[in-house]
């Protein structure tokens, strides 16, 4: 009963909290915008509402091209994947969920 009271009366900006978590995922894990959104709303992840997660991804200041490139380099270095396989992994709905444009940027800049 006291825990319910505390939650019901706790004042917090959950959208700002979701944004901070999104920024952390982008910076430390090089996640895609869609990957971050999915993690924020996941029942096995952060459990934010769809509205809170959407606010976070709409307001995040991250370089998703750079994140895609960092992920591509990880795949190249650790798994010795071909550029085509890396592109597929970057854009897969079961993989990293980057946009086609972000994946293309990563592949174009992979050896630079």
Residue 55 φ/ψ, nearest 5 degrees: -55, -45
List Cβ neighbours of 57 (8 Å cut-off, separation of 6 or more).
22, 33, 34, 36, 37, 40
**What is the chain's alpha carbon radius of gyration, rounded to the nearest angstrom?**
17
pLDDT (tens digit, 9 = 90+) per residue, 73-107? 999 999 999 999 999 999 999 999 999 999 999 99
Distance CA 32, CA 111 (A): 21
For the domain bounded by 2-59, which CATH number is listed?
Answer: 1.10.10.10
pLDDT (tens digit, 9 = 90+) per residue, 44-80? 989 999 999 999 999 999 999 999 999 999 999 999 9
Evaluate whether the domain defined by 64-108 bears CATH number 1.10.10.10.
yes
- In three-state secondary structure terms, 54 is helix
- The two structure tokens encoding residue 109: 């800049």
Q: Residue 10 pLDDT more than 80? A: no
Greater model confidence, 2 or 89: 89
pTM: 0.87
What does the domain layout of the chain look like in residue ranges?
Answer: 2-59, 64-108
Q: Residue 6 pLDDT more than 80? A: no
């Amino acid at each position: 009963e006291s825990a319910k009271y505390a939650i019901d009366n706790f004042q917090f900006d959950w959208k700002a909290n979701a944004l901070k978590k999104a920024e952390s995922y982008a910076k430390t894990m090089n996640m895609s915008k869609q990957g971050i959104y999915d993690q924020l709303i996941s029942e096995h992840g952060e459990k934010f509402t769809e509205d809170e997660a959407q606010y976070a991804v709409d307001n995040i200041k991250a370089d998703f091209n750079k994140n895609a490139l960092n992920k591509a380099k990880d795949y190249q270095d650790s798994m010795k994947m071909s550029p085509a396989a890396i592109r597929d992994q970057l854009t897969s709905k079961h993989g990293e969920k980057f946009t086609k444009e972000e994946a293309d940027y990563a592949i174009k800049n992979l050896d630079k």
